[in-house]
């Protein structure tokens, strides 16, 4: 059996002058325990997402299966969340390689799980605007 090499490489938090970047293999518990993750995002998790999501859920799984009629979708929409995904260049010929896309949360949620699967979609990174997080009322 083969394991994913470098699994922890996809558990991270980074920032630049405008945005926060979260590796989607991170669980909500990992983010809450990480001292570098902004306190405001931790507050969003504990106040608004805790009822709908188990803390051991990864961002990857949560975002992949998120539904448009869910409260957590509205939270991420207010945060102007964008999601970096990787998918097949040509779903019919899976051997042709991958391409990367940055989708808004609205675009991601509009794609049914079955289509995500056929495209070979992998959710890699959650991107939040610092301004949107700052403006989000707790």
Q: pLDDT at position 51, please?
A: 87
Place 3 in a pLDDT band, splitting at 50, 70 and 90. Answer: very low
Which positions ≥6 away from 79 have C-beta within 8 Å?
44, 128, 129, 132, 133, 136
Nearest to 78 by CA among 42, 51, 122, 48: 48
For the stretch 82-130, pLDDT in tens is 999 998 877 666 667 888 999 999 999 999 999 999 888 999 999 999 9
Residue among 40, 3, 17, 22 at smallest CA distance from 125: 22
Q: What is the CATH number of domain 20-135?
A: 3.30.465.10
pLDDT at 2: 41
Share of the chain above pLDDT 70, in %: 90
Three-state SS at 75:
helix
pTM > 0.85: yes
Three-state secondary-structure class, residue 25: coil
The total of other beta-carbon atoms located within 10 Å of residue 86's CB is 15
44 burial (CB, 10 Å; 0-12 / 13-18 / 19+) is buried
| Beta bridge pairs of residue 27 | 58
Q: Measured between alpha carbons, how far is 37 from 11 in angstroms, rounded to an integer?
A: 12
CA–CA distance, 56 with 62 (Å, rounded to integer): 10
pLDDT digits (tens, 9 = 90+) for 22-52: 999 999 999 999 999 999 999 999 999 988 8
> What pLDDT score does 103 carry?
96
Work out the end-to-end distance of the chain between its first and last CA atoms, rounded to an integer number of angstroms: 45
Query: Higher confidence at residue 66 or residue 3?
Result: 66
* Averaged pLDDT score across all residues of the chain: 90
């Amino acid at each position: 059996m083969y394991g994913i090499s470098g699994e922890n490489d996809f558990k991270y938090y980074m920032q630049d002058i405008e945005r926060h970047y979260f590796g989607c293999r991170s669980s909500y518990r990992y983010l809450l325990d990480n001292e570098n993750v902004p306190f405001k995002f931790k507050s969003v998790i504990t106040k608004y997402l805790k009822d709908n999501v188990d803390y051991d859920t990864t961002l990857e799984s949560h975002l992949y299966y998120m539904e448009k009629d869910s409260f957590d979708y509205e939270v991420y929409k207010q945060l102007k969340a964008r999601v970096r995904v990787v998918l097949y260049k040509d779903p019919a010929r899976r051997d042709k390689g991958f391409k990367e896309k940055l989708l808004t949360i609205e675009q991601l949620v509009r794609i049914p799980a079955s289509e995500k699967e056929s495209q070979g979609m992998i959710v890699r990174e959650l991107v939040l605007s610092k301004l949107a997080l700052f403006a989000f009322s707790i």
